[in-house]
Amino acid sequence: MNTTITPHKNVNRDVTLLPVSADQHLVISCDSCGGVGNKEKDLVKVPPEITGYYTCRVATMEILAVGARPEVVIDTLAVEWDPTGKQIYHGIQRFLEESGLNISAINGSTEENFPMVQTAIGITVIGRVFKKDLRLNRSRAGDELWMLGLPKVGHEILHPYDPEVASISSIQALLQDPGITGMIPVGSKGVGYEASLLAAESQLKIEWVPDLPVSMDKSAGPSTCVVLSLDSKILPEWREKLASETFLKLGTLKGVSP
């Protein structure tokens, strides 16, 4: 479970912002995962590489979503290095290579004193952002609210590739468009919680699309989907680019009456 620290008023994201100069912040995010792997007591049986891949993905997406550049990855593994830790590390490397991120340092620790019967890991990602590039409180009244990917958890996620999981390449491309005014990864609290948080950051409310085909409370596990706000002018271009992915309108952002 992520621990939330509030860096700014009305911001309650799973990231910590630390000022390091007049114009820069360090941005820190973390994620943990337990009981997912190939050990005796694991509840969801998957290769350890998958566990490393998705746990790193969650922490990294939180960094990217606020406009920061990831620079350091720290993996704290409550498993032995060989073979489980090594396989988890390969999953972390696979995600970083897939996302094209040039990480300057990867550090970590493993459990070598006791035999472990269940997989447990934590990953911390540290990034840096110029204050002018910080992607918080930018959503505007009239922006549309969309979801990329579907909320999925545990055995619902197909391996090694699930077309209903928001791809990191699409997420990175969206973040390069100034018409995307906000983005937030969805975790265990569900789409409704994260969408409301994104709106509240900019003191807005949501006019929801009626009869949405997805549950607003369902866990999205390892951030299988993201919520984003956008200027409707760029919508035709992105609907075409994201035609092969799940891209669903959730609602419209409205100003809050005084």
Show pLDDT as tens, one digit a residue, over the chain (258 residues): 333 333 333 346 789 999 999 999 999 999 999 999 999 999 999 999 999 999 999 999 999 999 999 999 999 999 999 999 999 999 999 999 999 998 878 999 999 999 999 999 999 999 999 999 999 999 999 999 999 999 999 999 998 889 999 999 999 999 999 999 999 999 999 999 999 999 999 999 999 999 999 999 999 999 999 999 999 999 999 999 999 999 999 999 999 754
Query: What pLDDT, on a 0 to 100 scale, did the predictor assign at position 1?
Result: 36
C-alpha 24/C-alpha 257 separation (Å) is 34
Among candidate residues 193, 219, 218, the one with its CA nearest the CA of residue 206: 193
pLDDT by residue (tens digit) across 146-167?
999 999 999 999 988 899 999 9
Please spell the DSSP secondary structure of 75-95, one letter per residue. Answer: EEESS-IIIIIHHHHHHHHHH
Query: What pLDDT, on a 0 to 100 scale, did the predictor assign at position 7?
Result: 35
Alpha helices in 34-136 (DSSP H): 48-65, 86-99
Instruction: Give 79's strand partners.
Output: none
Among candidate residues 51, 55, 52, the one with its CA nearest the CA of residue 43: 51
Query: What pLDDT, on a 0 to 100 scale, did the predictor assign at position 12?
Result: 65
What is the tally of helices (H) and strands (E) in the chain? 5, 12
The amino acid at 147: M
pLDDT by residue (tens digit) across 53-82?
999 999 999 999 999 999 999 999 999 999
All domains in the chain, ordered by first residue: 16-133 (3.30.1330.10), 144-255 (3.90.650.10)
C-alpha 228/C-alpha 83 separation (Å) is 39
- List C-alpha distances in Å: 89 to 103, 205, 236: 14, 41, 39
Angle at 167 between CA 33 and CA 89, to 5 degrees: 40
